[in-house]
Amino acid sequence: MLPWFSKWNKENPTDIYGPAVIIGAALGGVFVAALLVSWGQPYATESMQTGPRGTGMSVTEYKASVTAPDPSIADYYSEEPYIPEGGEELAKDIYENVQVLGDLTEDNFNRLMTAMTQWVSPEQGCAYCHGDGDLETYGSDDLYTKVVSRRMIQMTQNINENWDGHVNANAEVGVNCYTCHRGQNVPSDIWFKITPVSDNFEGWSSNQNRATSISQFTSLPSDALEKYLLDYEVIGVHSLESRVAENPSDPDVKTWQDTERTYSLMNYVSNSLGVNCVFCHNSRAFYDAGQVTPQWGTEMLGISMVQEMNNDYLVPLRDTYPPERLGPIHADAPKAACKTCHKGYQQPMQGLNVIADWPELATTEAPVYE
């Protein structure tokens, strides 16, 4: 094509691969840099400082995931209350079998029934708890879903009233059915007892060394939620004393396994909230409650709240559920924990206030409308 070039090329045999690769790489670098400058760094991170400067206490996340909203917020249904004028007939006077919501006016009672339907059974509608009969039959307690819901209403009222220090820790956020259910009959991230998960040998425990969802897919123990969020077992494994003198067969002595179980729980907690350990701890002194962030205190309340939810509300419902709702191994009742509400976010529904419109769910007493 270019005879002068072919001739010159033949007479001057030069290896151009080396220079070509260098020039190509340099131009490629310039091209990528130009892309980053014009479109932005796709893996940019943002970090939230959680402790004093210079201690490395910060939670780092990709900007893309920080700015993407929790997808279930878009489907959230809410409606402002009807402020009663006084003198209205109440649900307990109108209906046959209202045991918890008796102090609501008819408008507010129906408003709440509509919302519960949107939050828990949008596909099945009222029939999920009341069956296919007409409105006259709605007083019947034949369906387990209705009996469970009545207890769920009481549990939600109790959480908002008595665990206000957790669910309104930073601002009014609160909890309603949607916090856990998100439009599903059975909430995501519930849990059952699953241990033993492996064979027990001399010196080896049968509750670990198998990757399970409760061990956060590590070899750590799979009974952390059971011990700490149901059985009231006390955390507190870190000691500044020598362990040499202690006898591990003494039940008060913390063993390596308690340490691993604590770590299993802490991994669960971190994953439930989408944070790392220094969101709550100063990692130079995990044991020291004097060097923690305010979120550590919020978690302490959260642990007691979850223990109460499980023991006083969810476990006693065991015989009310049909067998297919019970645990696969021990046929135990479904239980809740941090992730059932948080779903991987620092605050459920990213801090959306879900209680302002629902005074009926904010207290175990008669609702107060303002």
Nearest to ligand HEC of 134, 202 (CB atom): 134
Residues 280-339 that bind ligand HEC (CB under 6 A): 280-281, 286-287, 295-296, 298-300, 302-303, 306, 309, 314, 321, 325, 334, 336-338
Q: Is 236 in the site for ligand HEC (CB under 6 A)?
A: yes
Tokens of 63: 């900007």
Smallest distance from the beta carbon of 298 to ligand HEC, in angstroms? 4
Binding test (CB under 6 A) with ligand HEC, winner from 47, 83, 238, 369: 238
Q: Is 277 in the site for ligand HEC (CB under 6 A)?
A: yes
Q: Is 58 in the site for ligand HEC (CB under 6 A)?
A: no
Contact 151, 336 (CB under 8 A): no
Residues 161-200 that bind ligand HEC (CB under 6 A): 166-171, 173, 175, 177, 179-181, 185-187, 190
Q: Is 255 in the site for ligand HEC (CB under 6 A)?
A: no
Binding test (CB under 6 A) with ligand HEC, winner from 90, 153, 194, 220: 153
Radius of gyration from C-alpha coordinates of the chain? 29
Q: How many CA atoms lie within 13 A of 321 on its CB side?
A: 18
Nearest to ligand HEC of 197, 314 (CB atom): 314
Cβ partners under 8 Å of residue 239, min gap 6: 254, 287
Q: Is 107 in the site for ligand HEC (CB under 6 A)?
A: no
Cβ partners under 8 Å of residue 300, min gap 6: none
Give the span between the Cα atoms of 369 and 366, in whole angstroms. 10
Give the span between the Cα atoms of 359 and 277, in whole angstroms. 35
- State CA 209 to chain mean position distance: 25
Tokens of 186: 């059975």
Binding test (CB under 6 A) with ligand HEC, winner from 50, 105, 108, 121: 121
